[in-house]
Structure 1
């Protein structure tokens, strides 16, 4: 596919191997957005600012949102999050990206006292989801793929909760007009979760989770996952395109 020279560019931050943009990236590519994918754990430098970018996509990963010693690029990511919200650049933070968004803006993140949440989990719409430009079409009870040991304990001041779950309260939220964070993984299907189960499953099992059941639940939910979450990714891509046209 030939890229138009004026196509909007988005900065995509990946925190480790095996946690790429997946379904979300496929939809942003199809929408004509040009990704600049940075792998800071490999030593690749993050841009100092978002100048020249029409969107910021922050992906998931194993580090904690405040693990600056083990993941020394995280302060720079949080600074870019604050810049995005302060300037109105569209932002989507996924799992760790959502936690970084919350922490950067004055919320808090904690290790889950109940152990990891893994597998396909049904989400509930909250009233503010009505009319939201990205999550407004998510049906009540839609399944979402989960694999996280930490969770957002408190949303930032002024954040609007959009989706919740029975075991993890803050599943999706909006800050300002064009910034969103999610705790779940809209970018993955069963194959990715199976990979995570091979690497992280033994620790999850020791913590009381059932990795095999988690993988099976995500595989069973794939028809709904393919219907719901690419649609939200397309909606976010349209927010980016509208911002770029302003």
Structure 2
């Protein structure tokens, strides 16, 4: 059975739709909550087939407020070094970017909230995960921090009007700024006054959620299913103890 390590960095940023999809795909998942449950040591990743890191209101190097992020970074580095598939969402994606030498900055650029139009790049069409998406789709956004630069070895896969680095890949690691796991239910819990201070109207966001939500859920599931296919394919070669063809040169 496929086994994933899923790290929750903030109680407000839970696995959401991913939970239902993992269960429906017969995926066993080990859910760890940063600051509550201990994260596995990096070498313990050998017991898993993939890694998912969720969002949270921290910078990736803010270990004074979130001390578990140092262990999480080591887990991500281990996954990069061993070609284990990993998917980082919002903070999780920023953590991957930080590890590979990208530039992540706090409270930079325009904030994004609610369902936001995402445009995939030409390179996404050849990507094993992002080729599952149409050229334009919509996903939930919730951030004021962002990636502002990636190293040359990273491939840009998606952008929005307000944020260039919406998704990227390096090796077998994918990072997103958007939240494919989130839905209208997340927006319902957001504070209307805080949204207003950022220039957003909660009722408008909920109206857009009703319009865009069904197509977004379809595309989010396609994205996760494509990632899971990579996890299973990579795991098959790992369990056979045979080097997967075409993997040379992807280790970091």
| Cα 1:157–1:77 shift into 2, 3 Å | farther
The match for 1:103 among 98, 104, 116 is: 98
Q: Indicate whether 1:47 and 2:40 are aligned.
A: yes
Residue 245 (structure 2) aligns with: none
Cα distance in structure 2, aligned partners of 1:185 and 1:91: 15
Q: Deviations over 1:70-92 (max 9, x none)?
A: 11111111111111111100000
Residue 125 (structure 1) aligns with: 120
Cα distance in structure 2, aligned partners of 1:112 and 1:140: 28
Residue 149 (structure 2) aligns with: 154
After alignment, is 98-107 or 212-221 more displaced? 212-221
Cα distance in structure 2, aligned partners of 1:121 and 1:115: 13
TM-score when scaled to structure 1?
0.90
Q: Indicate whether 1:21 and 2:15 are aligned.
A: yes
RMSD: 1.5
1:143 positional shift:
0.8
1:100 positional shift:
0.9
Aligned residues: 235
The match for 2:222 among 219, 222, 231 is: 231
1:207 positional shift:
3.0
1:188 positional shift:
1.1
CA contact (8 A) 2:84 2:234 kept: yes
CA contact (8 A) 2:109 2:144 kept: no
CA contact (8 A) 1:116 1:209 kept: no
Q: Secondary structure of 1:123's partner?
A: strand
TM-score when scaled to structure 2?
0.88
1:115 positional shift:
4.3
1:127 positional shift:
1.1
Cα distance in structure 1, aligned partners of 2:230 and 2:25: 11
The match for 2:132 among 131, 137, 140 is: 137
Cα distance in structure 2, aligned partners of 1:64 and 1:194: 25
| Cα 1:167–1:240 shift into 2, 3 Å | same
The answer to which structure, 1 or 2, has the higher relative contact order (CA under 8 A, 6+ apart) is 1
Residue 245 (structure 1) aligns with: 236
Structure 1 alignment gaps of length 5 or more: 1-6
1:65 positional shift:
1.8
Q: Deviations over 1:130-179 (max 9, x none)?
A: 12111102112211111111111112441001111110000111101x21
Residue 180 (structure 1) aligns with: 174
| Cα 1:16–1:139 shift into 2, 3 Å | same
